[in-house]
Amino acid sequence: MTSSRSTGAAVLDAVLARGVIPVVSLDNPATAADVGQALVAGGLPVAEVTLRSELAEECLHRMAQVPHLLVGAGTVVRPDQVDRVHQAGARFVVSPGLDPQIVERCRELGLAVLPGVATATEVQSAARLDLDVVKFFPAAAAGGTATIAALAGPFPKMRFVPTGGIDAGTMAAYLALGCVAAVGGSWIATRKAVAEGDWAGIEAEARRAVESAGQARA
């Protein structure tokens, strides 16, 4: 178990390294590799593939074949999904809520896990599970930077990954907070860009996001 948890921690460090996690919703496996390659080319070799379509797991599997790309599964809401996305090639799991069974299964499989929280009660529960990084969701609707800053007071060791309602124009404000480890967002690889096959556009957005994150964290 200790070895698996160490593996998950190392993966999480890599996921957070550039300060931005592209959230990608795909329903056509034929586009998965192209999206992944565009992100890698843009200097952002990480992607959270949401489980919001019938073919999402196949899309994740194909994206996981892209060299140098760290792929995870988002919108994981049941423990059995953890096993399936692990088999598909996911290295990390993101959940909209805090489910101890999902956390435990991820640890058993050596997967990094980012469970979602939005209240002090949920952060406290996460801390009792020995978590020190959590997803803050839905970020904008739950009060944005003001709420995160308020939560950081009683939980100074917790780091947050806000997701939901964040875009290129607002990411810097979140990353300026010392307790924010990274932000997640869908503006880098939008459904429109994917549908149009705008791989160059996705690459450019990825590069801009990395540059903006670096400046905000400096």
Task: Let me know if residue 87 belongs to a domain.
Answer: yes
Question: How confident is the model at residue 115, as a pLDDT?
Answer: 98
Question: How confident is the model at residue 1, as a pLDDT?
Answer: 56
Question: How confident is the model at residue 167, as a pLDDT?
Answer: 97
Q: What is the dihedral of CA 85, 90, 91, 96, to 10 degrees?
A: -60
- Which of 48, 57, 203, 205 is an active site residue? 48
Active site residue 58: no
pLDDT tens-digit map of 131-177: 999 999 999 999 999 999 999 999 999 999 999 999 999 999 999 99
DSSP 105-171: HHHHHT-EEE-EE-SHHHHHHHHHTT--EEEETTTTTTTHHHHHHHHHTT-TT-EEEEBSS--TTTH
pLDDT tens-digit map of 36-64: 999 999 999 999 999 999 999 999 999 99
Task: Let me know if residue 91 belongs to a domain.
Answer: yes
Active site residue 157: no
Question: How confident is the model at residue 3, as a pLDDT?
Answer: 72
- Which of 54, 58, 122, 135 is an active site residue? 135
DSSP 126-141: HHHTT--EEEETTTTT
How confident is the prediction for the chain on average, in pLDDT? 97
Question: How confident is the model at residue 50, as a pLDDT?
Answer: 98
Question: How many residues are present in the chain?
Answer: 218
Task: Let me know if residue 218 belongs to a domain.
Answer: no
Task: Let me know if residue 108 belongs to a domain.
Answer: yes
Domain of residue 202: give its range: 2-212
Flag whether pLDDT at 15 surpasses 80.
Answer: yes
CB half-sphere exposure, 83, CA atoms < 13 A: 4
- Residues 218 and 215: their CA atoms lie apart, in Å, by 5
- Residues 189 and 209: their CA atoms lie apart, in Å, by 11
Question: How confident is the model at residue 218, as a pLDDT?
Answer: 84
Question: Which strands make up the sheet holding 116-117, listed edge to edge?
Answer: 116-117, 133-136, 159-162
Query: Residue 83: in which H helix or E strand, if any?
Result: helix 79-88
pLDDT tens-digit map of 84-140: 999 999 999 999 999 999 999 999 999 999 999 999 999 999 999 999 999 999 999
Task: Let me know if residue 217 belongs to a domain.
Answer: no
Q: Do the Cβ atoms of 84 and 75 come closer than 8 Å?
A: no
**Number of domains the chain is built from:** 1
CATH of the domain at 102: 3.20.20.70
Question: Would the pTM of this model clear 0.85, i.e. be above it?
Answer: yes
pLDDT tens-digit map of 58-83: 999 999 999 999 999 999 999 999 99
Q: What is the mean pLDDT of residues 203-210?
A: 98
- Residues 93 and 95: their CA atoms lie apart, in Å, by 7
Task: Let me know if residue 192 belongs to a domain.
Answer: yes
Reduced DSSP (H G I as helix, E B as strand, rest coil) percent helix, strand, coil of the chain, to 5: 50, 15, 35
Task: Let me know if residue 208 belongs to a domain.
Answer: yes
Task: Let me know if residue 10 belongs to a domain.
Answer: yes
Render the burial of 141-158: b for 16+ CB within 10 Å, e for the rest. ebebbebbeebbeebeeb
